[in-house]
Structure 1
Amino acid sequence: MTLIANPFYDSVFKYMMEDERVANILLSALLKKEISELQVRPHEYTNTQRTNISLFRMDFSAKIKDRDGEEHLVLIELQKTWLPTETLRFRQYLGTQYLSRENMRKDPDSQFGLPIISIYILGHTLGELVEPVIYVRRRYLDYEDNEIQGKDKFIESLTHDSIIVQIPFLRQRTRNRLERLLHIFDQNYRLENNDHLLEIDESLFQKEDAPVLTRLLKAFATPEVRRSMDVEDEILSEIEARDTVIMQKDHIIQQKERQIEQKEQQLEQNKQQLEQKDQQLEQSKQQLEQKDQLIRSMIRMMEHEGLNEEQIAQKLALPVEHIRSLK
C-alpha cells in the first residue's frame, strides 16, 4: 500500500496536472487515444474564491492520434467539481472557449475553431446514470439515421465530445486500466483521521502509470501544497458552516410558509362557512317573505268575508300587531 496526496483538493490536482507527463497519462487513458503532444494552456483558471471553491478548471492543447495514425490538434477542457453545481457555470466557461480567438486554427486561411473535448470530473452523481465514466460522442447522420463517414471542420469547430467521471461510482472498481488509474480519486481510500492522504494499492497500477503515483507522493512532500490543503479545509469548513446556517434559515422559512399556508387555508374555510351562513340566512329570509305573502293573501281574503283584525288574528293564531304590520 502507498500513501499519496488526495487529489480531492484543488491544490493537489493542479500540482499533479501541471506535470505534462502525468497529465498525458491521465488524459490519454480518459480519451482512449494516444496523445503525441500535450501542453497546458496559459489561460488555466482555478476557482479559489472564499465564497465558492467548488469548481476547478484547466485547459490543454493536444495532438491526438486516431486508430489510422492520423494526428489531430484539439483543445481539452478539464473541469473538476466536488460539490453539486449548476450546469450554467460549465456552459459559461465552455462559451468562453468557443468565443476565444486563441482557439482558432493557426492556419491563416482557416476560419474554423479547434475541436474541443470537455472532461468533467464530478465528486457527485448525476440523476439515474450509475456508470463511473460516461462518454458522450457525436455521430454524423443522414435523414434516415444512417451514419455518415468522415469529418468536417465546420461541424468539428461547432460541436464537441464530452467525458464525464462520477467519482462516487468508482467504488473500488478495477474492471479496466482507466478505472484502476482513477483510483487516485476514490475517496473510499482516505485515511481515517487524515483526509489529505489516500492509501492506494500500488499493484493495481501498470508500470507506465507509475509517474502518477510518484507525482502525488511528491505533492504531499511539498510544503506549499500541504499548506494549500489546510487552507482549502478552512474554506470548505466555512462553506459548510455557511450552508448549515442557510439550511437552518431555509427550514425556519419553510415552517413559517407552512404556518401561513395553514392560516390561509383556515381563513378560506372560515370564508366558506360565512358564505354558507349568508346563503342560509338568505334562504330563511326568502322563506319568511313567502310566508308573509301567504298570510297577506289570507288576511285580504278574510277581510273580504267581513272579518275584523281581532277575528283574523284569532283564526291565524297571530298577534293583532303582526296582522296590522302585514296589511
Structure 2
Amino acid sequence: MTLIANPIYDSVFKYMMEDERVANILLSALLKKEILELQVRQHEYTNVQRTHISLFRMDFSAKIKDDKGEEHLVLIELQKTWLPTETLRFRQYLGTHYLNKENVRKDSDSQYGLPIISIYILGHTLGELKEPVIYVRRRYLDYEDNVIEGKDRFIESLTHDSIIVQIPFLRKRTRNRLERLLNIFDQDCRLEGDDHLLEIDESLFHAEDVPVLTRLLKAGVAPDVRRSMDVEDEILSEIEARDTVIMQKDQVIQQKDQTIQQKEQTIQQKEQTIQQKDQLIRSMIRMLEQEGLDERQIAQKLALPVEQIRQLK
C-alpha cells in the first residue's frame, strides 16, 4: 500500500495536473485516445479559484489521434468540484471558451472554433445515474435518426462532448484501466484520521500510470501543498458553518411562512363564512320583501340594523 496526497483537494489536484506527463496520462485515459501534444493553458485558470471553494478549473490545448489515426486539435476544459454546486457555474465557464477569440483557428477561406471536450470530476452524485464514469457523445443524425458519417467544423465549433466522473461511485472498482487509475480519487481510501492522505494499492496500476502515484506521493510530503490543504479545510469549515446558519435561518423562515399561510387560510375561511352568511341574509330579505315588509320591519324581524339591511339589498 502507498500513501498519496488526496487530489480531491484543489491544491493537490493543481500540483498533480501541472505536471504535463501526469496530466497526459490521466486525460488520455479519460478520453480513451492518444494525446500527441498537451499544453496547460497558463493564461486561463491554472490557479485555484476562490469564488467558490468547491469549484476548480483548468484548461488544456491538445493534439489527439482518433481511432482512424487522424490528428485533431481540441480544447480540454477540466472542472473539479468538492461539494455540490449549481450547473450554472459550469455553463458560465463553458461560455467563456466559446467567446474567447484565442480559441478560434483560421484556414485558407474561413475560421472556426476549436472543438471543446469538457471533463467534470464530481465529489457528489448525479440523480439516478450510478456509473462512476459517464460519456456524453454527440452523433449526427438525419430525419429518420440514421447516423450521418463524418464531421463538420461548423457543428464541431458549436457543440461538444463531455466526460463526467462521479467520485462517490468509484468504490475501489477495477473493471478497466481507467477505473484502476481513478482510485487516486476514491474517498473510501482515505487514511483513518487524516483526510489529506489516501492509502492506495500500487499493484492495481499499470506501469505507465505509476508517474501519477509518484507525483501524488511528492505532493503528500510537499510543505506548501500540506499547508494549502490545511487552509482548504479551514475555508470549508467556515463555509459549512455558514451554510448551517443559513439552513437554520431558512428553517425559521419556512416555519414563519407556514404560519402566515395558515393565518391566510383562516382569514379566507372566515371571509367565506361571512360571504355565505350575507348570501343567506339577502335571500331572507328578498323573501320578506315579497311578503310586503319594509326595511324597518325586516330589520326588526332579523334583529339587524336598518343600515345593514340596506347594504345587503
Q: 1:232 maps to what in 2? A: 232
The C-alpha deviation readout for 1:85-110, integer Å capped at 9, x for no partner, is: 22221111111111112112265654
Q: 2:202 maps to what in 1? A: 202
CA contact (8 A) 1:184 1:200 kept: yes
Q: 1:257 maps to what in 2? A: 257
Distance across 2 between alignment mates of 1:289 and 1:104: 87
Q: 1:87 maps to what in 2? A: 87
Q: 2:78 maps to what in 1? A: 78
The C-alpha deviation readout for 1:209-250, integer Å capped at 9, x for no partner, is: 111111000001111101110111111111101100100000
Number of positions where the alignment pairs a residue of Structure 1 with one of Structure 2: 292
CA contact (8 A) 1:57 1:79 kept: yes
Stretch of structure 1 that moved more, 259-268 or 77-86: 77-86
Instruction: Evaluate the alpha carbon distance shift between residue 109 and residue 40 of structure 1 in structure 2; reply closer, same or farther with a 3 A threshold.
Output: farther
Distance across 1 between alignment mates of 2:273 and 2:112: 72
Stretch of structure 1 that moved more, 126-135 or 224-233: 126-135
> Which runs of 4 or more aligned residues in structure 1 lie more than 6 Å from their structure 2 counterparts after TM superposition?
none
Distance across 2 between alignment mates of 1:80 and 1:109: 38
Distance across 1 between alignment mates of 2:158 and 2:19: 30
The one-letter amino acid of 1:213's match is L
Distance across 1 between alignment mates of 2:101 and 2:19: 26
Q: 2:242 maps to what in 1? A: 242
Distance across 2 between alignment mates of 1:112 and 1:289: 86
CA positional deviation for 1:292: 5.3
Other structure's SS at 1:35 match: strand
CA contact (8 A) 1:52 1:239 kept: no
CA contact (8 A) 2:49 2:57 kept: no
Larger Rg over CA atoms: 1
CA contact (8 A) 1:10 1:56 kept: yes
Instruction: Evaluate the alpha carbon distance shift between residue 205 and residue 286 of structure 1 in structure 2; reply closer, same or farther with a 3 A threshold.
Output: same
Stretch of structure 1 that moved more, 280-289 or 208-217: 280-289
TM-score, scaled relative to structure 2: 0.89
Q: 1:125 maps to what in 2? A: 125
The one-letter amino acid of 1:198's match is L
CA contact (8 A) 1:136 1:161 kept: yes
CA contact (8 A) 1:40 1:59 kept: yes
CA positional deviation for 1:268: 0.9
Q: 1:157 maps to what in 2? A: 157
Other structure's SS at 2:59 match: strand
Q: 2:49 maps to what in 1? A: 48
Other structure's SS at 1:75 match: strand
CA contact (8 A) 2:130 2:169 kept: yes
Distance across 2 between alignment mates of 1:265 and 1:54: 42
Q: Which runs of 5+ in 1 are unaligned?
A: 294-327
The one-letter amino acid of 1:217's match is L
The one-letter amino acid of 1:157's match is S
The one-letter amino acid of 1:242's match is R
Other structure's SS at 1:63 match: strand
CA positional deviation for 1:283: 3.4
Q: 1:148 maps to what in 2? A: 148
Distance across 2 between alignment mates of 1:252 and 1:239: 20
CA positional deviation for 1:113: 1.5
Distance across 2 between alignment mates of 1:104 and 1:271: 66
The one-letter amino acid of 1:4's match is I
Instruction: Evaluate the alpha carbon distance shift between residue 220 and residue 109 of structure 1 in structure 2; reply closer, same or farther with a 3 A threshold.
Output: farther
Q: 2:189 maps to what in 1? A: 189
CA contact (8 A) 1:43 1:59 kept: no
Stretch of structure 1 that moved more, 194-203 or 6-15: 194-203
In the TM superposition, what are the counterparts of 1:1-327 in structure 2 within 5 Å? 1-45=1-45, 46-49=47-50, 52-105=52-105, 107=107, 110-291=110-291
CA contact (8 A) 1:22 1:212 kept: yes
**RMSD between superposed Cα atoms in Å:** 1.6
CA contact (8 A) 2:190 2:199 kept: yes
The C-alpha deviation readout for 1:237-295, integer Å capped at 9, x for no partner, is: 111011001000000000000000000011111111222222333334344445555xx
CA contact (8 A) 2:11 2:48 kept: no
Distance across 2 between alignment mates of 1:114 and 1:279: 73
Other structure's SS at 2:151 match: coil
The one-letter amino acid of 1:266's match is T
The one-letter amino acid of 1:101's match is K
Distance across 2 between alignment mates of 1:41 and 1:48: 15
CA contact (8 A) 2:58 2:78 kept: yes
TM-score, scaled relative to structure 1: 0.85
Q: 2:311 maps to what in 1? A: none
Q: % of aligned pairs identical?
A: 80
CA contact (8 A) 1:36 1:64 kept: yes
